[in-house]
Amino acid sequence: AQSVTQLDSQVPVFEEAPVELRCNYSSSVSVYLFWYVQYPNQGLQLLLKYLSGSTLVKGINGFEAEFNKSQTSFHLRKPSVHISDTAEYFCAVSSFYNTDKLIFGTGTRLQVFP
Amino acid sequence: NAGVTQTPKFQVLKTGQSMTLQCAQDMNHNSMYWYRQDPGMGLRLIYYSASEGTTDKGEVPNGYNVSRLNKREFSLRLESAAPSQTSVYFCASSELKLGFYEQYFGPGTRLTVT
């Protein structure tokens, strides 16, 4: 079975500052990793994914994430945030053998202040 | 394409009342899902349908029933609503894309049970 831990429930940051949202996972088999973003009063949309290959993956809106197998982490980063990045961010994992089921973390609320 | 649509957007029920949440997708996806989102708990899978005519329980199926009416529609029924079912409900659909299932989410239904 897989599990996902998002260590920070809220991350406040000022506009144009860098941000890192942390995600750790647990699994006994190979996994695919995802970050989803949920803007206020909307559904979730895929931000980026790691399937294989380069451990640094780039997503939409200038976000990137790095897969670290030894530390079982998949942290999300952005070098300079904008007010419009204010949203909830969910890390998710699926097993290599059961890719149609996602296990979500509890979410991190990113609040960007002017 | 409308993507994934859900009705209603908001609903207030009294304890013991029943209702059906509707979901439809126009992307010709085989797989569809129902999740609930609660503060501090992320998204949890209620039921899943891999194809028309098949349904499987997810992590939190108790108190719910589902019906995959056809390829487009996947409904969630609460037979006797309880306050513990107050939540935001998301429907999603997915397709196999480059070796993984990318899930597309609807805008959600906010349900309050008093």
With a cut of 80, say whether residue B22 has pLDDT above it.
yes
Asked if A94 is an interface residue toward chain B (Cβ–Cβ < 8 A), one would say yes
Name residues whose C-beta falls within 8 Å of residue B8's C-beta, 6 or more positions apart in sequence. Answer: B21, B109
pLDDT at A82: 97
**Three-class SS state of B84:** helix
Rg (CA), chain B: 13
Asked if B30 is an interface residue toward chain A (Cβ–Cβ < 8 A), one would say no
Residue-wise pLDDT for B55-112, tens only, equals: 999 999 999 999 998 999 999 999 999 999 999 999 999 988 777 888 999 999 999 9
pLDDT at B2: 78
Residue-wise pLDDT for A10-53, tens only, equals: 999 999 999 999 999 998 888 899 999 999 888 899 999 998 88
Question: What would the two tokens of residue A20 be?
Answer: 């890192």
Rounded Cα distance between B94 and B62, Å, is 24
Contacting residues of A for B36, CB less than 8 Å apart? none
Contacting residues of B for A9, CB less than 8 Å apart? 40
Asked if B40 is an interface residue toward chain A (Cβ–Cβ < 8 A), one would say yes
- Give residue B65's identity as a one-letter amino acid code: N
Asked if A11 is an interface residue toward chain B (Cβ–Cβ < 8 A), one would say no
- Looking at B1-114, which runs of residues are DSSP E strands? 4-7, 10-13, 19-25, 31-38, 42-49, 56-57, 65-68, 74-78, 87-97, 100-105, 109-113
Cα A42 to Cα A45, A68, A87, B6: the distances in Å are 9, 30, 10, 12
Main-chain dihedrals φ then ψ at residue A62, nearest 5 degrees: 80, 5
Q: Are B106 and B42 in contact (CB under 8 A)?
A: no
Rounded Cα distance between B68 and A40, Å, is 29
Task: Say what percent of chain A tops pLDDT 90.
Answer: 77
Contacting residues of B for A90, CB less than 8 Å apart? 42-43
Residue by residue, DSSP assigns B59-74 as: S--TT-EEEE-SSSBE
> CB-CB: which of B41, B94, B108 is closest to A100?
B94
Name residues whose C-beta falls within 8 Å of residue A14's C-beta, 6 or more positions apart in sequence. Answer: A112, A113, A114
Task: Kindly report the nearest CA distance between residue B11 and chain A, in angstroms.
Answer: 15
